[in-house]
Structure 1
Amino acid sequence: MLNYLRTIKIISLSVSSALLLAACATTDGTEDIDDRYMRSQHGPDLQLPPETSEVKVNDGYRVPEGLVITQREPKGKKLSLDPPQLLLVAGDGVWEDKERAEPTVWVRSSSEELISYVVRFMDSQQMSHQEPTSSSVKTNWISDDDDNKVAEHLGTYSLEGERHKFALTIVETKPNEVALQAQHEAYQQLINDKWVNVDTSSRVAKQFLNYFIGYYDSERTREARARILQEAKIEVELGYNDQGALALVSQREFLAVWDQMPRVLEALNLEVTDRDRSEQTYYFKVNEPETGFWSWFGDDEVTAKVDLEPGNYQIKLSELNAGGVSLSFYGAEGELLDSSTVTKIYPEFSAEFKRGKAKRGKK
């Protein structure tokens, strides 16, 4: 009995091993399936039961007359083992357009700006490319033996000796966003020392687009960090507001200047009394200087560091038509300060805006 059981186990293991080996893939990247079913013999004709002369079949199940199987080649060996490829959309302002046949993403950008990122992407990866147009950049041949990380991972994972051509093209524009599409324009494999054309695929186009999306996201993140580091440093010069009055002007965006105003006023010992975001105005006060015995010692914590008479003032921020922001100074009743006064207080305001948080010392 024991020998019988041992024999059954050995047979079971042998059959399992054979099935496992049969399921393995061949080295040419195709499925090695059992296609003996293609050589099966024709079975016996359908036999009607006794005393039955015909079989009634509903029309919905009727087999079409004259049906002939014309393709007898097994399909399994032609299937690729390459895994499916998804668009790895990441970062703010990038999303996939699933309605298009070719891999496409929408990017919150302008055509000119996005094309510049595409060129920088290809240059950073040392990809040879053609002269860019206003809406497209096309590569030259990218081979899997090129000296860059992108080229190493394009195409199939089971073959060596491949090269590709791609295009990244803006196919549609909307206000503040553009649709960027990847095309796999040419594909060749090295077979018997000759380059042979192979069908292009949307899968490989997605691979290429994914690498650009990753580059774009990392560059935008790096640039955002640089802006954060610089946001406390604002260049301010003497200029004019859109009404022609002398003012302080900066090329930075409105919010950057607005957010820095409390710090600048505090650093200049100007007391912030109010602010009105809807009017884009800060209200501040120049305190009366100390008098009497304690005035001999001075008080850098209280004394204003700009040449203004004691009293209440306003700073109104306005976005300039030509870009940037103007800072106009007014008295308590809304009267515009004269040009000579603005000129006198300009150096202190300019220096404090430029100094920023990072370089401010202790009071």
Structure 2
Amino acid sequence: MKIIKTSIVILSCQMLAGCSWLYGEDGLVKDSSYEYVNARQTKDIQIPGELTQKRKVNFTPVPAIGEKAKQAPYGKEVKVSAPIQILAVLDNIRIDKKADNPAVFILDDSDFLWRSIIEIFEENEAKIEKANKQELVIETDWLAVDERGVWLGVAGEDDIDEFRAKYRVKFTDGVLKDEKRMEVSRIAAEKLDDETEQWQPVPSFWQDSADMLNLLISSYDKKAATRDQARKAAMVAGFKVQMAKDEEDAAALVTEASMEHVWEKLPKVLEALEFDVNDRDRRLMTYFVNYQKEEAGFFASLFSEEKELLPIDAGDYQVTLRQLGERTAIVFRDGQGEPLNSQVLTKLYPTLSQLFGDNR
């Protein structure tokens, strides 16, 4: 038994000796736990000039350490705000990433865009100091903002008791056709000194202008949605048509509805007439369609009602819109562009009058 214990002790000593041979400072596998103390400092990261962005502010400062930490704010006193991003999430809006001030490209009617921004300020009772449509510049009077620079949506000297700012909205031509570029900048900002009761200037940052741009984009989106809903309602609304002649003395249907309204409604009418729309040319205000008469088979005639066929031959046709004074003329033509005669159009009139007058 004593021999066995002696053997175990000797074996344990050999194992410990083996570990020191494998690990340790002189071992085969060296300990790297403290190698960092000998590491050399690397060079500072150099950011290319084109990647820098002007007028940024540090919204997440690193807390002070050492003696400076005793005087630095801590806990709830540390004001941390989330980074500001431009909310260009709409289909017709994209960000101008190369702009010094927050800016977006908006694909929309320029008059509607101008009116929308003016109305946003007016609806919030914000005074406008300058609104020059020729220069496409809007500048506000003093607006009440909070400590972070966010517009409070109120105006007037009586409502501004601590912070205030002025903003400029500038429109220029965009890159794409019918596109406008809208840039927002905070051009002045002040804070009221409690002791002197005098306004003192304070700096403006990129985020301050981005906040206002986001507010304008959001409000514009609501106005555009309301407009688009009205357009859809007008598109399905029916209107009255009458037999007449166009400027070239061709048989036509005329209506008091706008050409845009007729253009939007026409595909529904053609579909109800079982025309296939092959193409359309908005410059010519023309739909290119095809009509095929369906010949009902034996079983179809048994189980379905017989459809009334149009008094025209199968083939290609064109439907053209023309301005006729303040009215819109609708001319049906054959495949070669010749207007259908008045006898054919007279036969089609009852059906067309009903379809154009329906809400569809």
TM-score between the two structures when normalised by the length of structure 2: 0.58
The correspondence of residues 36-185 of structure 1 with structure 2, limited to 5 A, is: 36=67, 81-134=80-133, 135-144=136-145, 150-151=151-152, 161-174=162-175, 175-185=177-187
Query: Is the counterpart of residue 217 in structure 1 residue 221 in structure 2?
Result: yes
Change (3 A) 1:182 1:332: closer
Aligned partner of residue 216 in structure 2, secondary structure? helix
In structure 2, give the amino acid aligned to 1:252: E
Residues in 2 aligned to 1:131 and 1:214: alpha-carbon distance in whole angstroms: 22
Equivalent position to 2:204, from 200, 207, 219: 200
Residues in 2 aligned to 1:273 and 1:258: alpha-carbon distance in whole angstroms: 11
Change (3 A) 1:276 1:104: closer
| Equivalent position of 1:353 in the other structure | 356
Point out the more displaced range, 222-231 or 91-100.
Answer: 222-231
Residues in 1 aligned to 2:317 and 2:221: alpha-carbon distance in whole angstroms: 38
Residues in 1 aligned to 2:307 and 2:233: alpha-carbon distance in whole angstroms: 30
Residues in 2 aligned to 1:275 and 1:90: alpha-carbon distance in whole angstroms: 33
Change (3 A) 1:241 1:122: farther
What is the CA deviation profile of residues 127-172 of structure 1, one whole-angstrom value per residue up to 9, with x for unaligned ones?
2213522212111111148xxx951699xxxxx7211111111134
Consecutive unaligned residues of structure 2, counting only runs of 5 or more, are 1-59, 156-160, 281-286, 296-304
Change (3 A) 1:212 1:301: farther
Change (3 A) 1:111 1:100: same
Residue 103 of structure 1: how far off its partner (Å):
0.7
Aligned partner of residue 92 in structure 1, secondary structure? coil
Q: Contact 2:162–2:191 at 8 Å: present in 1 too?
A: yes
| Equivalent position of 1:17 in the other structure | none
Residue 350 of structure 1: how far off its partner (Å):
3.3
| Corresponding residue pairs, total | 265
Residues in 1 aligned to 2:277 and 2:307: alpha-carbon distance in whole angstroms: 21
Change (3 A) 1:109 1:242: farther
| Equivalent position of 1:49 in the other structure | none
Point out the more displaced range, 337-346 or 198-207.
Answer: 337-346
Change (3 A) 1:187 1:311: closer
Residues in 2 aligned to 1:194 and 1:132: alpha-carbon distance in whole angstroms: 28
In structure 2, give the amino acid aligned to 1:209: L
Change (3 A) 1:246 1:133: farther
Aligned partner of residue 216 in structure 1, secondary structure? helix
TM-score between the two structures when normalised by the length of structure 1: 0.58
Equivalent position to 2:339, from 319, 336, 353: 336
Residue 112 of structure 1: how far off its partner (Å):
2.7
Residues in 1 aligned to 2:203 and 2:68: alpha-carbon distance in whole angstroms: 30
Residue 188 of structure 1: how far off its partner (Å):
1.2
Q: Contact 1:315–1:328 at 8 Å: present in 2 too?
A: no
| Equivalent position of 1:235 in the other structure | 239
Aligned partner of residue 100 in structure 1, secondary structure? coil
C-alpha RMSD over aligned residues:
4.4
| Equivalent position of 2:25 in the other structure | none
Residues in 1 aligned to 2:73 and 2:170: alpha-carbon distance in whole angstroms: 36
What is the CA deviation profile of residues 231-267 of structure 1, one whole-angstrom value per residue up to 9, with x for unaligned ones?
22243544655745232255235762342124543xx
In structure 2, give the amino acid aligned to 1:349: L
Residues in 2 aligned to 1:173 and 1:333: alpha-carbon distance in whole angstroms: 40
Change (3 A) 1:328 1:282: farther
Q: Contact 2:312–2:344 at 8 Å: present in 1 too?
A: no
Aligned partner of residue 182 in structure 1, secondary structure? strand
Query: Is the counterpart of residue 246 in structure 1 residue 246 in structure 2?
Result: no
Change (3 A) 1:92 1:282: same
Residues in 1 aligned to 2:101 and 2:224: alpha-carbon distance in whole angstroms: 25
| Equivalent position of 2:300 in the other structure | none
In structure 1, give the amino acid aligned to 2:288: Q
Consecutive unaligned residues of structure 1, counting only runs of 5 or more, are 1-28, 39-73, 155-159, 266-271, 288-299, 358-363
Residue 88 of structure 1: how far off its partner (Å):
1.4
Residue 215 of structure 1: how far off its partner (Å):
1.2
Aligned partner of residue 277 in structure 1, secondary structure? strand
Change (3 A) 1:168 1:241: farther
The correspondence of residues 296-315 of structure 1 with structure 2, limited to 5 A, is: 302=307, 310-312=311-313
Residues in 2 aligned to 1:332 and 1:33: alpha-carbon distance in whole angstroms: 81
Residues in 2 aligned to 1:125 and 1:171: alpha-carbon distance in whole angstroms: 25
Change (3 A) 1:354 1:195: farther
Residues in 2 aligned to 1:234 and 1:246: alpha-carbon distance in whole angstroms: 21
Change (3 A) 1:114 1:347: same
Change (3 A) 1:194 1:321: same
